[in-house]
Structure 1
Amino acid sequence: MASHKTVTTHRASKKTITATRTAVTLATATVGSIALVPGLAHADPTANLNDVQNKVKDLHEQAEQASEAYDKAAGDLATLQHKVDQIQARITAEQAQLGNAQSALGSLAAAQYRSGGVDNSLQLMLAASPDSFLQQATAMNEVADKSASSMKSAQEIKRQLDQDKAEASSDLAQLQKTRDLMAQNMADVNAKEKAAQDLLNTLSKAQRAQYDTQQKQQTQQNTSTKQVAPTGLPPAPNARAQIAVNFAKAQIGKPYVYGAAGPRSFDCSGLTMAAWAAAGVSMSHGSSDQAYEFPAVSESDIQPGDLVIYYGSMHHVGIYVGAGQIIHAPYSGTVVQYAPLHSMPVVRIVRP
């Protein structure tokens, strides 16, 4: 599941986000993960295989939830970075404007000083040419008015400059918090996955062989011809939705990978994002964001192409393809596959 109108956003490119996510994944430590599974340190090597399977599945789903949080944070980071870049560009321009305004004020002040020192009425009385003096006085009044205007302009530029600097400082601090959150989210993903592996390692050799066989059979079933082409699927209500549905169908059997949005692998929201991108519709890489980027529809009105959001935390999403079926990327170790609409708790349905 996991990790993203036709709306232009300022998010980082998918390649940039994926590359960053990959780097974080490789760099993040996964220490202390055994503590995530109560009693794991004392797990019974002969534990019931079904119990282990259920716990491993739960850990995969928790990891997927953390991955979705990572994807959301990655989108937030891209938006914040764009905002900071814009503010910093404004600051550079405002500093230049302030410098020009201050230079102009200096020139005006010098001109006033050179003409000052004698009262205007006395200067008129002493002037050899009153008409000439009056012309000069009018010019100096204009200089004074221009000086006042320039002063006001400089003060406004300085006020905006200080405001932008404060905003940039706040946003830069938020950028760092978001980076820290992304690292923690990916650490959670890795820790959950390691805990699942540790749990599998408590199985006996025979149990592990049985588990691996079951997983292989499940994967083969999900990628079989029947899985790829279930019968009775209706057409989508419009051309764009049909493109999205067709794209999702074409991904059946591709592996789930945290943070992936194609072309060789997907997480849940990466799949829905890529499917609708093929139809020209942009959305966030994150199921909880996708849940509120489009109008909600009732289940009685659901149509092929709609996005189905699952669980109270909204950490999973699939695309409805009709006949009570969705296509989704479940979690690590699985592949893109069909599933019944109500195979998970539905909390929201939206229509891109």
Structure 2
Amino acid sequence: MTLTATTAAAAAGVGLTATAGHADSVSTIEAQVTTLNSQAEQATNVYDGAMEQMANLQKQVDAIQGEAATSQQAMNNLLATLGPLAAEQYRSGSVDPTLELMLSNHPDTYLQQASVMNQMGQNELIALKSLKIQQAQLAELKKEAADRLAQLQQAENQAAQAKDQVVAKFRQAQDLLSQLTYTEQQSLSYGTVTAEQIASLPKVGGRAGVAIAYAESKIGMWYQWGGEGDPSFDCSGLVEASYAAAGISLPRTTYEQVNMGYSVPALLNLLSPGDLIFYAGDEHVAIYVGNGVVFHAPRTGMQLGYAPWNMMPISAVRRVV
């Protein structure tokens, strides 16, 4: 996944700040908090994507460095083979200049001199050609590692910027919410699910059942943006981990997850437990668990739990099992 400065800028959104004193109405604050939460979700997806990219790049760097170490060892072995030839000539008082050139830092120069090569034995010539190949491979591996490290640094910078944006949006939302009473704050939640609805949730088998059981086992944990289970989750992190427990690999961000499986109409009678429901332009995702109920990781300051399936405007439904 390639993250761009444009994507990061989009996540920043338009800053909103609390006004002095109590806002004109709860609806005004609700609209502003909704906007801030949406911007925080966008920034969180940028952060999640950057972290995913960083992990992939680090694996590539490790692999390249491993290859470079192997190539370096091969060069060392070749030099160790050629070294005694030089030592013998040195002891006799006449080090062959062609051998000195061969053992230099630029053996390719030697290969360019055909007349000099003819003075060497066949074994030495083969060893020198191998040395040249190893040297070229090592140079290429070092360049590739440097390129990956530069990309890794860029991803780290994007993650840091997105993190700052999430924190800023959350603080702005908290400033707005602090103007409301506890009852008014509760009215701005994702909606409520009754105990009867939860008690009557269907028993689900197969992979969907495993994914749902995993998600439900995390009930009550506090949302953690960028979280993949250590110690908690954000919305896409919960979905990814739940389906990983069922043996299904999903991408890290909601923007990628929404392309998995196949589309299902957003109609309650057509939903099946395990379906993924995406909201607000694919910025948020929840797992449908049946009986008009979803399980999700809501947002910063809230606990993982149940919510109505239509808690926000639905942008897509995907079936991945």
TM range (shorter): 0.7 to 0.9
How far off is 1:265 after superposition? Answer: 4.4
Select the residue among 255, 258, 261 that pairs with 1:295: 261
State the superposition RMSD in angstroms.
Answer: 3.6
Q: Which structure has the highest helix share of the two?
A: 1
Q: Aligned partners of 1:92, 1:334: CA distance in 2, in Å? A: 48
Residue identity opposite 1:239 in structure 2 = G
Q: Aligned partners of 1:306, 1:221: CA distance in 2, in Å? A: 20
Confirm or deny: 8 A CA contact 2:287 2:295 kept in the other structure.
Answer: yes
Gaps of 5+ in 2: 1-11, 97-117
The corresponding residue for 1:5 is none
1:156 equivalenced with 2:133 (yes/no): yes
Aligned CA distance change for structure 1 residues 227 and 217 (closer, same or farther; 3 Å): farther
Aligned length: 281
Aligned CA distance change for structure 1 residues 220 and 99 (closer, same or farther; 3 Å): closer
The corresponding residue for 2:248 is 281
Compare 81-90 and 157-166 and name the one that shifted more. 81-90
Select the residue among 196, 209, 221 that pairs with 2:173: 196
Seq. identity, % = 35
Q: Aligned partners of 2:61, 2:318: CA distance in 1, in Å? A: 34
Aligned CA distance change for structure 1 residues 160 and 43 (closer, same or farther; 3 Å): same
How far off is 1:176 after superposition? Answer: 1.1
The corresponding residue for 1:96 is 73
Select the residue among 38, 54, 61 that pairs with 1:77: 54
How far off is 1:85 after superposition? Answer: 1.5
Q: Aligned partners of 2:209, 2:140: CA distance in 1, in Å? A: 48
The corresponding residue for 2:30 is 53
1:239 equivalenced with 2:206 (yes/no): yes
1:315 equivalenced with 2:278 (yes/no): no
Confirm or deny: 8 A CA contact 2:36 2:170 kept in the other structure.
Answer: yes
Q: Aligned partners of 1:351, 1:258: CA distance in 2, in Å? A: 24
Confirm or deny: 8 A CA contact 2:37 2:170 kept in the other structure.
Answer: yes
Confirm or deny: 8 A CA contact 2:18 2:172 kept in the other structure.
Answer: no
Compare 152-161 and 257-266 and name the one that shifted more. 257-266
* Structure with bigger RCO (C-alpha 8 Å, 6+ apart): 1
The corresponding residue for 1:349 is 318
How far off is 1:345 after superposition? Answer: 2.8
The corresponding residue for 1:334 is 302
Q: Aligned partners of 1:245, 1:255: CA distance in 2, in Å? A: 18
1:268 equivalenced with 2:224 (yes/no): no
Q: Aligned partners of 2:23, 2:136: CA distance in 1, in Å? A: 71
Select the residue among 171, 183, 201 that pairs with 1:213: 183
How far off is 1:323 after superposition? Answer: 4.7
Aligned CA distance change for structure 1 residues 56 and 297 (closer, same or farther; 3 Å): closer
Q: Aligned partners of 2:149, 2:230: CA distance in 1, in Å? A: 33
Select the residue among 188, 196, 207 that pairs with 1:226: 196
Confirm or deny: 8 A CA contact 1:108 1:147 kept in the other structure.
Answer: no
Question: Aligned to 2:121, what secondary structure does the other structure show?
Answer: helix
- With normalisation by structure 2, the TM-score equals 0.73
